[in-house]
Amino acid sequence: MLPLAMPGILTGTIIGLAQALGETAPLLLIGMNAFITAIPHSPFDAATALPTQIYIWADSPERGFTSRTSAAILVLLGFLVAMNAIAIWLRQRSERRW
């Protein structure tokens, strides 16, 4: 049953990932202000979410944060495109031809 349902599961994963990344802006605007300001020094340290960091950097008046904000947006878009490409590739591999 699972092999036949895998294309639908992967399609739902694509939609869910895009929705989770896209709905971050409304959450930020309605008051999600709990964030971590310290820079993480290892992968296991606590850190804030990338969309929250983008919002903080975009609101900063210093000119140096413009390039950081742009780079973080590109990283976020790159992650979304990569995850979509992997899910589409896996979906096409698991589709059964009748």
CB of 53 closer than 8 Å to CB of 70: no
What number of residues does the chain have? 98
Q: Over 80: is that where the pLDDT of 47 sits?
A: no
Between CA 35 and CA 32 the distance in angstroms is 8
Q: Over 70: is that where the pLDDT of 81 sits?
A: yes
What residues does each domain of the chain span?
Answer: 2-35+45-94
Q: Over 60: is that where the pLDDT of 98 sits?
A: no
Kindly report whether the global pTM for this prediction surpasses the value 0.85: no
Owner of token pair 């973080």: 72
Q: Could you tell me the end-to-end alpha-carbon distance of the chain, in angstroms, rounded to an integer? A: 16
Amino acid 74: pLDDT: 92
Per-residue confidence at 4, pLDDT binned at 50, 70, 90? confident
